[in-house]
Amino acid sequence: MISPQNVLRHELIGLDVLVSGASNPLHKGICGRIIDETKNLVVIMTSQGVKRIPKMHTRFQLHLGSRIVEIDGSVMALAPEKRINLHERKRIP
């Protein structure tokens, strides 16, 4: 089950997303559904068409049902198949 704690280890394609911050001011506020992902880009289908947003220097808000998770794109800057296979250290709360 996808949760805020393990979202980076799951497939992001199909999730609703909002670009909450970006080094390029034209990217801030773009929202839609993730339709593809590469090592350096997130491809978002918006009402205005397809937008390709670089992961570096960008913050994304992912919508997981009723929860919203904000992620720094530089943390996601891996090929999706490599990011999914990462083993995160378990944190003790």
Mean pLDDT of the chain: 87
Bridge partners (DSSP) of residue 52 are 43
How many domains are contained in the chain?
1
Domain interval for residue 13: 7-83
**H-helix or E-strand containing 83?**
helix 80-84
Confidence of residue 87 (pLDDT cuts 50, 70, 90): low
In a domain, 48, yes or no: yes
Rounded distance, CA 34 to CA 93, Å?
A: 31
In a domain, 92, yes or no: no
pTM (whole model) above 0.75: yes
In a domain, 28, yes or no: yes
1-to-47, 55, 63, 65, 74 alpha-carbon distances in Å: 29, 24, 14, 12, 24
With 90 as the cut, is the pLDDT of residue 89 above it? Answer: no
Q: Tell me, what CATH number does 75's domain have?
A: 2.30.30.210
> 6 or 87: whose pLDDT is higher?
6
Kindly report the number of other CB atoms within 10 A of residue 77's CB atom: 16
- The per-residue pLDDT for range 19-59, each reduced to its tens digit, is 999 999 999 999 999 999 999 999 999 999 999 999 999 99
Bridge partners (DSSP) of residue 32 are 17
